[in-house]
C-alpha cells in the first residue's frame, strides 16, 4: 500500500469527497426514488445539494437556510433539552416541540390534584408559565469545517495516541472559539474521523412550559399506534425561552424576559398538496448506514432480541401498574413512554431489515468492494473481513454494554439510586479530609424525597423479578452480577421470591427506613449500606464494567473508528456514483423530500394524510389509547374548524419522504418557502430500518399538520393569545403581497400573505 503525508492525504480526500458528493447529487437528480435519502450539514448545502433541493421544488437559497451573516432559518431551530428539536414560532421566544419531548416536564408538574398529563395545561398569561429546572434550549450560531487542522494534529498517529492528539487540538480550537464570549462549542467527527466540524452554540437555561394538550390528544393512539400509519396524534407542546434583560442566556429568574430571537418561522395557512416539497430541519440523533454485514447481523440476532426481551419484561409490569391507580399512572408515565418507544422501534427495525433483505444486500456490496479494491494499489480489499473479525472478537463486550444499558439504566431504579451512595461510602475518609462530608451527606438526605416522589417499591420489585432471569441466563460473564445468580439459585429459580427477599433486605426500597438510617452514626450508615443487596448488585455491575468491560469496549470503539474511516474513504473512491452523507450524530441537519404516501407491502397503501374524521372513528370511550375529550368531539360534530381546515377537511397528520431518525422529534416540517407546515414526530414502522439502511420506496416520516396544532390551541384550548403571537400566512405562488384579517380565538389577527418569508 502506498503511503502519503497525512496532510496531503486529507487534502486529496477532502477534494475527492466534495467532487464525489457533487457527482452523487447529479446522480440523485436522475433517480427521484433516491432523492430523499440523506441528512445534510446545513453549512454545506451550497456546495453539495442546494441545486437538487431547488430542482425538487425549494424556492429558497442556501443563504436563506443557513447564514452566519444574516438571519436565516437555522436561527429558528432549537436543540431542545439535548435530545429533541424545537422551533421558534414568535418574536417572544415561543417554541414548539413534541408532546413526547416535553412529557417529562409535563409529568413533573402533574399531581393527582393537578393532572396536566390527563387534562392538559395552558398558561393564559406569561406569569402562569412553568419553569423547568435542567431544561435548556440551544441555538447553533456557526458550523465551521476544521478538518484540516484536526487531521494535521493527528498526523500518522493511531489508537489512543491519535485520540489524545485530536483531543488537544480540539481543546485549543474550542478555547479560541469561546474566548471572551458566552458561547459554547464542541468538535464533532464526521465520516468516522475523515472530517471534523466545530459547532458554536448559544444555550438558554430558562425554558418554561406554556401549553400542552391532554394526553388523549398529545398521545392519542398511545403504544397501539406508535410507529404506525394511519396516525392521528396531536403530538405537540409549547414552551417559551426566557433571557436576561440584555437578551442573553441567564439562569432562571423572575426578572427574566421572553427571548427575542433572530428568526421565527412563518406558518403556512394554505396547506400542502400531495407531492409538494418538504424539508425537516433538526438534530437527528444517530444512524449507522455504513455498518458491515456482521454488525447488522449482531443487531438482528443479538442486540435487538435481547433489548426486546428486557423491555417487554419491564413494560409488562409498568403497564399493569399504571392501570391500577392515577397515582401510579402519573409516577410512571414518563418512564413507560421512554421504555416503550424504543421497544416497538426495535421490533419494526428488525422486521424492516429482514423484509428488505438488508443483510444480503450488505454482503453483496462487500463482495463487490473486495473485487474492486483488489484491483487497486491503494485500498485494502479485506477491510470488510477485518471489521467482521473485530465484531466477532468483541461480541461479548458489545452485548455486555447493551445489558448495562437495559438493566442498570432502564431496569430496576433501586440499583441506580443505591449506586448514588458510592461516593459517601467509599470516599468517606477523603470527604472528611477535604471538609465535604457534611455537604455530600446533606445532598443524599435531600435526594430521598425526590427519588420516592416517582417511585413505587412493588413496581420496582416486579421489574427485578421479570428481568433478573434474562440477565442471569443471557448476560455475558463480563457483566453478570454474581449476587443475582446466587440469590436465584438460593430460591430455586423462583424470581418473584428472590425479588421479595432482595427488596426486603434493601434500605433503598423503603423511604422511612432510609430516613431513619441517616439518624445513625456515619460508620453504622456505611456498614448497613455495604451489606445492602441493591448497593452490592449495583457495585458489582459497575465495577465489572469499569474493570473489564469499559477498557475492552473502548479498544473496540477505537479500532472500529479507525477501520470504518478507512472503509468509508475507500468506498467513496471505489463507488463514486453512490450517495454519501455523514451519519447522524446529534448535529444540525437538513433532510428533504415531499408530502407523499407509500405502498410498503403488497395490497397496502398509505395515503398521504389523515383527518379529524379518522380520530373520531378510532374513539373508544374509556380506552387507555383511544379515549377523547368531549370538547374535541363537540367541535367535530359542529364542524367548527375555524380557519384551520384545508379544503373543508381538518387534517391531523401527514407523511413525508424525509429521512429522519430519533432526535428529529419536534423538528419543523417546512415548505418550499421555509414556512412551517408541520411538526415531525415519528416514522412508519417499516421506516425504522432507515437508521441502518434507507429504502426510498417505503421509508416515510410522520408529521402533525401545523393547522391541527393551531386548531387545538385556539378552538379546543381557547388560547388564542398564543396564536396572536405567531406569523400566519397564506402563500400562493404568483400572488402579490396582501393582507388578510382572520378571527383567531378572541383576537383579530393581521395575516400577511406572500411567496417569500
Residues with a known catalytic role: 100, 235, 665
Residue 137 in grid coordinates? 434550549
CA distance 269 to 278: 15
Q: Which residues of 515-539 are buried (b: 16+ CB within 10 A; e: fewer)?
A: eebeeeeeeebeebbeebbbbbbbb
CA trace torsion 225, 228, 230, 236 (10° rounding): 70
Question: Residue 67, preceding bond cis, omega within 30 degrees?
Answer: no
Helix axes 6-30, 550-574, angle to 10 degrees: 60
Residue of 612, 617, 610, 586 lying closest to 700 (CA atoms):
610
Contacts (Cβ under 8 Å, ≥6 apart) of 455: 331, 413
3 state SS of 293? helix
258 sits in which H/E element: strand 257-258
Q: Give 128's DSSP letter.
A: G
Contacts (Cβ under 8 Å, ≥6 apart) of 83: 101, 285, 663
Distances (CA, A) of 84 to 185, 215, 250, 617, 686: 19, 19, 21, 31, 22
CA distance 590 to 73: 11
CA distance 249 to 205: 7
Distances (CA, A) of 193 to 53, 197, 566, 580: 27, 10, 9, 15
End-to-end CA distance of the chain, in Å?
54
Residue 624 in grid coordinates? 387507555
CA distance 742 to 402: 54
Task: Give the largest CA-CA distance in the chain.
Answer: 81
Q: Give 302's DSSP letter.
A: I
Residue identified by cell 426495535 is 346
Measured CA angle at 416 (ends 136, 433), to 5 deg: 90
What are the φ and ψ backbone dihedral angles of 249, each rounded to 5 degrees? -55, 140
Specify which residues 495 forms β-bridges with. Answer: none
Residue identified by cell 479560541 is 176
Residue 612 in grid coordinates? 379529524
Residue 684 in grid coordinates? 412508519
CA distance 643 to 270: 10
HSE on the CB side for 275, CA within 13 Å?
Answer: 0
> Helix (H) and strand (E) counts for the chain?
31, 24
**DSSP-assigned letters across all residues of 79-125:** EETTTEEEEE-BTT-EEEE-TTTSHHHHHHT--SSS-HHHH-EE-SS
Residue of 155, 145, 186, 150 lying closest to 168 (CA atoms):
150
Distances (CA, A) of 230 to 98, 221, 619, 625: 18, 10, 14, 15
CB 499 within 8 A of CB 461: yes
3 state SS of 292? coil
What are the φ and ψ backbone dihedral angles of 583, each rounded to 5 degrees? -55, 145
How many whole angstroms from its chain centre is CA 704? Answer: 17
Amino acid at each position: 500500500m502506498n503511503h502519503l503525508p497525512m496532510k496531503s492525504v486529507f487534502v486529496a480526500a477532502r477534494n475527492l469527497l466534495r467532487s464525489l458528493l457533487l457527482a452523487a447529487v447529479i446522480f440523485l437528480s436522475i433517480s427521484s426514488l433516491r432523492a430523499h435519502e440523506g441528512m445534510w450539514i446545513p453549512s454545506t448545502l451550497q456546495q453539495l445539494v442546494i441545486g437538487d433541493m431547488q430542482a425538487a421544488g425549494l424556492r429558497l437559497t442556501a443563504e436563506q437556510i443557513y447564514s452566519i451573516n444574516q438571519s436565516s432559518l437555522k436561527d429558528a431551530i432549537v436543540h431542545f433539552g439535548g435530545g429533541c428539536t424545537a422551533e421558534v414560532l414568535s418574536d417572544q421566544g415561543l417554541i414548539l416541540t413534541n408532546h413526547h419531548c416535553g412529557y417529562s416536564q409535563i409529568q413533573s408538574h402533574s399531581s393527582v390534584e393537578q393532572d396536566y398529563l390527563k387534562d392538559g395545561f395552558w398558561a393564559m398569561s406569561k406569569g402562569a408559565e412553568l419553569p423547568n429546572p435542567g431544561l435548556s434550549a440551544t441555538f447553533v450560531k456557526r458550523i465551521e469545517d476544521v478538518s484540516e487542522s484536526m487531521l494535521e494534529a493527528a498526523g500518522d498517529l493511531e489508537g489512543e495516541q491519535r485520540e489524545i492528539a485530536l483531543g488537544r487540538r480540539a481543546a485549543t480550537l474550542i478555547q479560541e472559539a469561546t474566548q471572551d464570549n458566552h458561547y459554547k462549542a464542541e468538535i464533532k467527527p464526521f465520516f468516522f474521523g475523515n472530517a471534523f466540524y466545530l459547532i458554536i452554540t448559544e444555550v438558554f437555561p430558562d425554558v418554561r412550559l406554556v401549553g400542552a394538550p391532554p394526553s388523549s390528544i398529545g398521545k392519542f393512539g398511545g403504544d397501539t399506534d406508535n410507529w404506525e400509519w394511519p396516525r392521528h396524534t396531536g403530538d405537540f407542546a409549547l414552551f417559551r425561552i426566557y433571557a436576561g434583560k440584555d437578551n442573553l442566556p441567564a439562569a432562571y429568574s423572575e426578572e427574566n424576559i421572553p427571548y427575542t430571537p433572530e428568526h421565527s418561522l412563518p406558518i403556512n395557512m394554505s396547506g400542502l398538496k400531495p407531492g409538494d416539497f418538504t424539508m425537516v430541519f433538526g438534530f437527528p440523533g444517530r444512524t449507522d448506514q455504513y455498518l458491515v454485514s456482521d454488525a447488522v447481523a449482531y443487531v438482528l440476532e443479538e442486540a435487538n432480541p435481547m433489548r426486546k426481551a428486557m423491555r417487554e419484561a419491564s413494560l409488562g409490569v409498568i403497564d399493569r401498574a399504571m392501570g391500577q391507580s392515577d397515582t401510579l399512572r402519573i409516577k410512571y408515565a414518563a418512564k413507560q413512554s421512554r421504555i416503550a418507544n424504543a421497544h416497538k422501534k426495535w421490533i419494526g427495525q428488525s422486521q424492516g431489515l429482514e423484509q428488505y433483505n438488508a443483510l444480503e444486500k450488505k454482503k453483496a456490496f462487500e463482495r463487490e468492494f473486495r473485487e474492486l479494491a483488489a484491483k487497486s494499489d491503494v485500498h485494502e480489499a479485506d477491510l470488510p473481513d477485518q471489521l467482521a473479525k473485530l465484531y466477532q472478537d468483541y461480541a461479548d463486550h458489545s452485548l455486555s454494554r447493551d445489558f448495562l444499558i437495559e438493566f442498570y439504566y432502564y431496569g430496576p431504579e433501586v440499583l441506580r439510586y443505591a449506586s448514588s451512595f458510592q461516593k459517601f461510602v467509599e470516599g468517606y475518609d477523603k470527604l472528611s479530609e477535604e471538609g465535604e462530608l457534611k455537604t455530600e451527606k446533606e445532598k443524599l438526605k435531600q435526594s430521598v424525597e425526590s427519588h420516592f416522589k416517582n417511585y413505587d417499591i412493588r413496581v420496582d420489585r416486579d421489574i427485578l423479578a421479570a428481568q433478573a432471569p434474562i440477565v442471569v441466563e443471557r448476560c455475558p460473564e463480563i457483566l453478570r452480577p454474581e449476587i443475582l445468580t446466587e440469590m436465584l439459585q438460593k430460591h430455586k429459580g423462583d424470581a418473584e421470591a428472590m425479588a421479595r427477599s432482595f427488596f426486603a433486605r434493601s434500605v433503598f426500597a423503603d423511604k422511612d427506613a432510609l430516613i431513619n438510617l441517616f439518624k445513625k452514626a456515619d460508620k453504622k450508615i456505611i456498614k448497613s449500606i455495604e451489606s445492602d443487596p441493591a448497593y452490592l448488585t449495583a457495585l458489582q455491575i459497575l465495577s465489572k464494567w469499569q474493570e473489564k468491560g469499559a477498557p475492552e469496549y473502548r479498544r473496540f470503539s477505537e479500532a472500529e473508528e479507525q477501520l470504518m474511516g478507512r472503509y468509508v474513504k475507500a468506498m467513496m473512491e471505489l463507488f463514486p456514483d453512490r450517495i454519501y452523507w455523514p451519519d447522524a450524530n446529534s448535529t444540525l441537519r437538513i433532510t428533504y423530500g415531499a408530502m407523499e404516501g407509500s405502498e410498503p407491502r403488497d395490497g397496502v397503501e398509505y395515503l398521504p394524510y389523515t383527518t379529524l374524521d379518522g380520530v373520531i372513528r378510532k374513539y373508544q370511550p374509556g380506552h387507555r389509547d383511544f379515549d377523547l375529550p368531549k370538547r374535541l368531539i363537540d367541535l367535530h360534530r359542529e364542524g367548527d374548524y375555524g380557519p384551520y381546515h384545508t379544503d373543508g377537511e381538518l387534517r391531523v397528520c401527514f407523511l413525508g419522504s424525509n429521512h429522519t431518525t430519533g432526535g428529529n422529534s419536534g423538528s419543523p416540517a417546512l415548505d418550499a418557502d421555509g414556512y412551517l407546515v408541520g411538526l415531525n414526530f415519528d416514522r412508519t414502522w417499516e421506516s425504522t430500518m432507515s437508521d441502518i439502511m434507507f429504502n426510498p420506496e417505503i421509508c416515510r416520516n410522520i408529521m402533525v399538520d401545523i393547522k391541527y396544532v393551531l386548531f387545538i390551541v385556539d378552538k379546543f384550548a381557547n388560547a388564542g393569545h398564543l396564536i396572536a403571537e405567531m406569523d400566519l400566512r397564506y402563500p400562493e405562488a404568483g400572488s402579490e403581497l396582501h393582507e388578510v384579517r382572520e378571527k383567531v380565538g378572541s383576537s383579530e389577527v393581521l395575516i400577511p400573505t406572500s411567496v417569500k418569508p
